[in-house]
Chains A and B, each alone.
Chain A
Amino acid sequence: MEQTFKILNEEGMHARPAGAFVKVANEFKSTVEIKANGLTKNGKSIMGLMSLGLTKDSEITVITNGEDELEALKKLGLLIENKFQI
C-alpha cells in the first residue's frame, strides 16, 4: 500500500522527526519504505530518512508491505500530519 504526504513541520526531517518516524515504523511487522526526490529509503532507518534531506513542504510517499500494512500506513500518515509529535 502507498500514500503520498506533505511534510508540515518547520524543521523538516531533522533527527527528532526522523527518530519519531522510525520508532513508529518499528512497531509494525510490515516493511516501510519512503520514496522522495526519486530515491527510495528504508523507513526503519533513521540515517536513510535523514539523508533524503526533506524540508517543509517536501512530498513523500510512504509504502508499507506486510500483514499490518494498513495500520502501519494509517499511523505513519497520522504522525506526519501531526508534525511528528508522538
Chain B
Amino acid sequence: MLIGKSASFGIGIARALVLKSMELQIESGQCHDQASEVERFYKGLRSSESELSHLFDKTLKDMGAEKAQIFEAHLLMLQDPEFRDNVVSEIQSKSCFSSFAVDVVSKRFIEMFEAMDNEYMRERALDIKDISSRVLKHILGIETPDLSHLNEEVILVSKDITPSQMASIDLNKTIGIITEIGGKTSHTAIMARTLELPAVVGLKEATTLITSGNILIIDGESGEVYVNPDQDTIRIFENRRKEILKIKNELLTFRDQKAVTQDGRRIHLEANIASALDLDSVLKNGADGIGLFRTEFIFMDRNKAPSEEEQFHIYKTVLEKMKQKPVVIRTLDVGGDKHLSYLNIPKEENPFLGFRAIRYCLRDKPLFKTQLRALLRASSFGNLSIMLPMISSLEEIEEAKNILKECQAELLIEGVSYSKELRLGIMIEIPSAAIMADLFAKHVDFFSIGTNDLIQYVCAVDRMNENIHSLYDPFHPGVLRLIEQVIKAGESNQIEVAMCGEMAANKSLTEILLGMGLTHFSMAPGSIPKTKKIIQEMTFKMASDRSKKVLTLASGSIIKDYLNSLK
C-alpha cells in the first residue's frame, strides 16, 4: 500500500494509466537561422493560444467561470511581453534554438515563483511549467495523449496533472487521480474536489511504483493507494464505494429539506470542519451551518503561528461562503494529542489532563489575542459564534471574556468594525463543567457538548489504550445522564445546546439525544443526509418517551439491548 496526501474524497477502483512525463527534447547548440527560430516560437505561441481558448470555453461550460479563470490567466501569461521579449532576445543574443530559449526563460520565472514566501505564489510556478511545456510541445511538434477520449475507466497517475490536463480529461472514464507532487491547495486538488473525483496528491515516485495496467484502489479520504490488491481487499473497497455512492444519491433528495420530526420539531444539523477546503462538502450536504470549525489545523505543519491577517482571511472566507448561516469557530485546541513545535508546551505525563486548549491560550495571551482579533474582524462578514474548548471553571470563562473585551476595545480604537451580534459559547467536555452547566449557562450564549473527551473523562478511559478500549462507552448511563443534565440546564436558561462529538452522528443514539431535548447536532458533512433521514422518520413524542426509559437503565449493554429491541 502506498500513502500520499488526501486531496479529494471518494473511492475509485480501476486500472492505472500512467502518464510518463513527456521527455521534451530541448535542442541545444547553435541554430542556423535566428529569424526562423523566432518565427517558430511565435507559431508555437499561436497554436498554444488557440488551444487554450478552446480549453477556456470547455471549462467554462463544464466547471463554471471561477474554474475557467485559470486559463484566462494562462492566456495572459502566454501573451506576457516580458516572457516573449525574453525568449526572443535569448534567441537573438545566443543564437540558440527556440525550444532552448523557452526552457531557459520559463525556468527563470519558475525559480522566481518557487522562491516566494507564499504558498499560493509558489504553486503558480506550476502554471508556468504548464504553459512552458504547452509551448514547447507545439514548437517540437509532440503529440499529447488525448485524455478527453478514453476507451476504458482509468485512474490517472502522473508526476503532476496540469490544470489544462485536468480540464481536458474525460470525466466519464476517469475514476481517480494520483500525482507525485502538489498539496491540498494545488489546482489539481481543488479541481478534483469540484469534479468529485477521488484524488491523492504528493505520492512520491507514484509513476515509478505504478505501471499502466496495474489495478489500483484509491481512497481519497485516507490518501491510501493499493496496487494490484487481492480480491478480498477489492471487495471491501467496492462495498465502501457503493456505500458512499448510495449516500451521495440520498443526498440529492435530502439536501434542500429540513430536519423536522413527524410532529414538527425542527432540528439543526450542522457540519464539523477543519479547513475552508471542506466547505464544498458542507454546502453539498445541505448543512444548516457549521457547528464546529476546528482551527488547530490552521496552526499545524508550519514553523510559526499564522498571523492575524492570515487567520482573518480564512475565517472570513468560511463566513462569507456560509452566507448568513451560523458558523461556530472554536479557538485553538492544542496539547493533548495535537503537538505544535513552536509553542511552549512541555512534554507531559498526562497530556489529556494537561496544559492544553484554553488553559494554554489564557497563558499565551499574544497568541490568543491574535486569534480573537482575527475572529472579531471576520465577524462582520457573516453569522459568527466563538467557542472556547476545555472549559472547566467559571474563572476561565471570565478571563477569556475579558481578553475578548480587550480585543474589542482595541479594534474600536483602530476603527475596525466587528459584529455586535457575536455569540460566545463553551465546549462542555470536562465533567466539572457538565455538572456546573446550570450556573455556567448564565454566563455564555451556548453550549456544545464535546463527547469524545467527555466520555473519556467521565469513564476515566484513555481512548488510545487498547486494553481498556471497551470501557470507552457512549452508551454508558453515566455519560447519558450527564448529557441530559447539560441539555436541561441549557433549556431552563434558554440557551442553545449543541453536540459536536462523534456521538452526534451515532445513528443508534440520535433518537435518544433528540428525545432529551438536543436541538443542534454537528457532524462530518457526509453524515448529515443520513441523520436528516432518520430524524424525518421519528416523532419527538416517542423519542422523549424512549429517552426517559433509557435514563432508568443501569448499564451500557442494557441500554444497547433496549435500543436494538426497538428496531
Q: Which of A10, A23, A51 contacts B109 (CB under 8 A)?
A: A51
B117 located at the interface, meaning its Cβ lies under 8 Å from any Cβ of chain A in the complex: yes
Check if B309 sits within 8 Å of A53, measured CB to CB: no
B69 located at the interface, meaning its Cβ lies under 8 Å from any Cβ of chain A in the complex: yes
Residue of A nearest to B312 (CB): A10
Q: Name which of B79-87, B250-258, B431-439 contacts chain A.
A: B79-87
Task: Given A10-B313, A16-B69, verify A48-B82 contact (CB < 8 Å).
Answer: yes
B63 located at the interface, meaning its Cβ lies under 8 Å from any Cβ of chain A in the complex: no
How far apart sit A48 and B112, CA to CA, in the bound complex (Å)? 10
Nearest Cβ on chain B to A62's Cβ, whole angstroms: 17
Residue of B nearest to A57 (CB): B309
How far apart sit A44 and B85, CA to CA, in the bound complex (Å)? 12
Residue of A nearest to B69 (CB): A16
Q: Render A18-52 as a binary contact track against B, CB cut-off 8 A, 1 for contact.
A: 11001100000000000000000110111110110
Q: Which of B72, B73, B82, B313 contacts A42 (CB under 8 A)?
A: B82
How far apart sit A22 and B83, CA to CA, in the bound complex (Å)? 14
A14 located at the interface, meaning its Cβ lies under 8 Å from any Cβ of chain B in the complex: yes
Check if B76 sits within 8 Å of A22, measured CB to CB: yes
B41 located at the interface, meaning its Cβ lies under 8 Å from any Cβ of chain A in the complex: no
How far apart sit A45 and B121, CA to CA, in the bound complex (Å)? 16
Check if B80 sits within 8 Å of A53, measured CB to CB: no
How far apart sit A41 and B121, CA to CA, in the bound complex (Å)? 17
How far apart sit A18 and B316, CA to CA, in the bound complex (Å)? 22
A74 located at the interface, meaning its Cβ lies under 8 Å from any Cβ of chain B in the complex: no
Residue of A nearest to B78 (CB): A46
How far apart sit A46 and B43, CA to CA, in the bound complex (Å)? 21
How far apart sit A14 and B117, CA to CA, in the bound complex (Å)? 14
Q: Which of A14, A18, A47 contacts B128 (CB under 8 A)?
A: A47
A15 located at the interface, meaning its Cβ lies under 8 Å from any Cβ of chain B in the complex: yes
How far apart sit A16 and B127, CA to CA, in the bound complex (Å)? 13
> Which chain A positions have C-beta within 8 A of B112?
51
Q: What interface size band does chain B fall in?
A: 20 to 34
- The binding surface of chain B is classed by DSSP as helix
Check if B113 sits within 8 Å of A16, measured CB to CB: no
Check if B121 sits within 8 Å of A47, measured CB to CB: no
How far apart sit A56 and B313, CA to CA, in the bound complex (Å)? 11
Task: Given A10-B316, A16-B73, A19-B73, verify A45-B118 contact (CB < 8 Å).
Answer: no
Check if B313 sits within 8 Å of A47, measured CB to CB: no
> Which chain A positions have C-beta within 8 A of B113?
50-51
Nearest Cβ on chain A to B110's Cβ, whole angstroms: 10
How far apart sit A29 and B112, CA to CA, in the bound complex (Å)? 28
Task: Given A47-B109, A53-B121, verify A19-B76 contact (CB < 8 Å).
Answer: yes
Q: Render A46-85 as a binary contact track against B, CB cut-off 8 A, 1 for contact.
A: 1110110101100000000000000000000000000000
> Which chain A positions have C-beta within 8 A of B120?
11, 14
Check if B117 sits within 8 Å of A53, measured CB to CB: yes
Cβ < 8 Å to A, chain B residues 99-130: 109, 112-113, 116-118, 120-121, 124, 127-128
B305 located at the interface, meaning its Cβ lies under 8 Å from any Cβ of chain A in the complex: no
> Which chain A positions have C-beta within 8 A of B73?
15-16, 18-19, 46
B77 located at the interface, meaning its Cβ lies under 8 Å from any Cβ of chain A in the complex: yes
Residue of B nearest to A23 (CB): B76
Nearest Cβ on chain A to B90's Cβ, whole angstroms: 15
Known contacts A53-B117, A56-B309; can you find 7 more A-B pairs with CB under 8 A? Answer: A15-B70, A15-B124, A19-B69, A19-B73, A46-B76, A47-B82, A53-B118
24 residue pairs from A and B, CB less than 8 Å apart: A10-B313, A10-B316, A11-B120, A15-B124, A15-B127, A16-B73, A18-B73, A23-B76, A42-B81, A42-B82, A45-B80, A45-B82, A45-B83, A46-B73, A46-B77, A46-B80, A47-B80, A47-B82, A47-B128, A50-B113, A51-B109, A53-B118, A55-B118, A56-B309
Interface residues of B (CB under 8 A from A): 69-70, 72-73, 76-77, 80-83, 109, 112-113, 116-118, 120-121, 124, 127-128, 309, 313, 316
